[in-house]
Structure 1
């Protein structure tokens, strides 16, 4: 396999390789192999692996792997931050604009379907929401409930309000946040999608679809390995930060379960069982999303080794 260095042309990354798949499907090892063979740079496309502290429970690549080829957007976000798809796409754009991907094949790998969709189809730009504004509206939602805020949104932005259910608190609050932060309706922002960053015509798109029984086995073995390597200590370090349990990082699989065991609320065996079940359920949801949301331009592969063969047998990265 040989791959020329890639460049961003007209604001679009040419010749990128995108690897999606459920957790524990072997995506990271495959990306590392491809990047090593092609002189690539790996860009994380997993919404949990962006968070610091959670090295083990999010199955982030090891320190040795991170140092073997360039890796980007791993562990760069503090767990106190509610990181979004838009923030991730802006970070990818900054990498490209700053030359971090120059002369290398961009290899995007992860399990977050919305990240891949944003790369290929663009994303409506949204304003940054100041923490004070976010806290204000989420506090009001907790205190008052969704329906009074929907009535408020009806007065301030009636067209948006008509598109939302009165009980959909999260979307109502999001609309109010954007309105406060920017002075513009969220509909205005949604109507101005950014240009796709990855050129789909020259990209290679792969979805890993491993055998279900083998995936379950890998999930079980991997979680046991996480425990052996210090996952309990990792959860203690995270909970010691005293963060809002509603933050995305606090919802990483294994955090709630191991924290409950540490607090004596459940036995450790029960916590481990719950975490493994949750991981299997999450992998099933990911696989279903990829199956329903990704079109025929995505090549579906059961064995990661097949991707290496496909890229090496005349299926070269387009320029």
Structure 2
């Protein structure tokens, strides 16, 4: 049997048998900060398209990281690059806590609200967008501040990732349909026949990873293992970068989450959910899973009261913040400086010493 890398796609007979009944479809204000920033050099490229003197600011949702980034950018004339998977989507301005128009006027911001909710935006797609900013010169000659709460984005930025292929919507839809109709074990048998090396690494019940392996093979003709082995290069110069992660007091963070969601409702969160629902999108798309969308949608549909929906959204946000904090605590290395809030204020930060990776 030929290896997966030698195929151009799944066998035609498999396509006909599996997809005979499937139609082709297409889818269409934060805490006070005090920051010592004198001595920060302007950005630039340190060879191979990498950003020099980048500042990376990670932290859980509602931790005050955006306020810190804006303070730095405004004082130093820097540009802020979104490093959060949800804030890249359009429509969800309020529910994803994107920078306000007033914030956008204070400093240049990139990669906010540029992706339609119908798109399953990935880490690889974000990395390509950052690469384009670098290639276009948008990040040259000014401090570049990457800020957000998506750990995989930071890892890809600093370490590089495999450049996975784009999956056409028709192929993605096919395999999701088959997962629902046939089940994970049936798809696992197909994967074992087409790419046994990958199939042996996955549990027969792990439908999400099985579908991912099949759609990559179907779209590219190459095993997902081959793509994963070809790791790309970091987009930042690690030796000159500053790595900061905010670790807020848990009680303070819970309070901020509570009040922030109340403000979101005042600013039009319900209208955003109505606009999103009007698009008629697949509920499994990432944008449809933004915290608050399902809860408020259920309330508008009469499936629960608004008070219950609001409380559920707040609980979901607290749980998400806890998962983020846990990931940052265990996955970020010693080069990351840990910042702890004191009474709701960030400590003074002297970024002059270069933090060694």
TM-score bucket of the superposed structures, by smaller chain: over 0.9
Across the aligned residues of Structure 1 and Structure 2, the Cα RMSD in angstroms comes to 1.3
What is aligned with 1:309? Answer: 349
For the pair 1:139 / 2:163, whether they are aligned, the reply is no
Cα distance in 1 for residues equivalent to 2:270 and 2:311: 15
CA deviation profile, 1:69-95 (whole Å, cap 9, x unmatched): 110010000001111000000100100
What is aligned with 1:239? Answer: 277
Cα distance in 2 for residues equivalent to 1:90 and 1:190: 16
Name the larger-Rg structure.
Answer: 2
What is aligned with 1:272? Answer: 310
Alignment of structure 1 residues 102-251 onto 2, 5 Å? 102-251=140-289
Alignment counterpart, residue 96 of structure 1, candidates 114, 134, 143: 134
Deviation at residue 142 of structure 1 after TM alignment? 1.1
Q: 2:147 aligns to what SS in structure 1?
A: strand
Contact 1:206-1:298 within 8 A present in 2 as well = yes
Deviation at residue 316 of structure 1 after TM alignment? 6.1
Alignment of structure 1 residues 68-83 onto 2, 5 Å? 68-83=106-121
For the pair 1:287 / 2:328, whether they are aligned, the reply is no
- When the two structures are superposed, what TM-score results if normalisation uses the length of structure 2? 0.86
Q: 1:218 aligns to what SS in structure 2?
A: helix
Which blocks of at least 5 consecutive residues in structure 2 are unaligned? Answer: 1-36
Cα distance in 1 for residues equivalent to 2:82 and 2:355: 19
CA deviation profile, 1:214-254 (whole Å, cap 9, x unmatched): 10111111111111111111111111111111111111111
What is aligned with 2:27? Answer: none
For the pair 1:51 / 2:92, whether they are aligned, the reply is no
Contact 1:15-1:317 within 8 A present in 2 as well = no
Contact 2:335-2:355 within 8 A present in 1 as well = no
Cα distance in 1 for residues equivalent to 2:349 and 2:248: 17
Deviation at residue 4 of structure 1 after TM alignment? 2.9
- When the two structures are superposed, what TM-score results if normalisation uses the length of structure 1? 0.96
Contact 1:111-1:286 within 8 A present in 2 as well = yes
Number of equivalences: 315
Cα distance in 2 for residues equivalent to 1:184 and 1:277: 42
Q: 2:349 aligns to what SS in structure 1?
A: helix
Deviation at residue 139 of structure 1 after TM alignment? 1.0
Q: 2:350 aligns to what SS in structure 1?
A: helix
Which blocks of at least 5 consecutive residues in structure 1 are unaligned? Answer: none
CA deviation profile, 1:138-160 (whole Å, cap 9, x unmatched): 11111101111111111111111
Cα distance in 1 for residues equivalent to 2:103 and 2:216: 39
Q: 2:346 aligns to what SS in structure 1?
A: helix
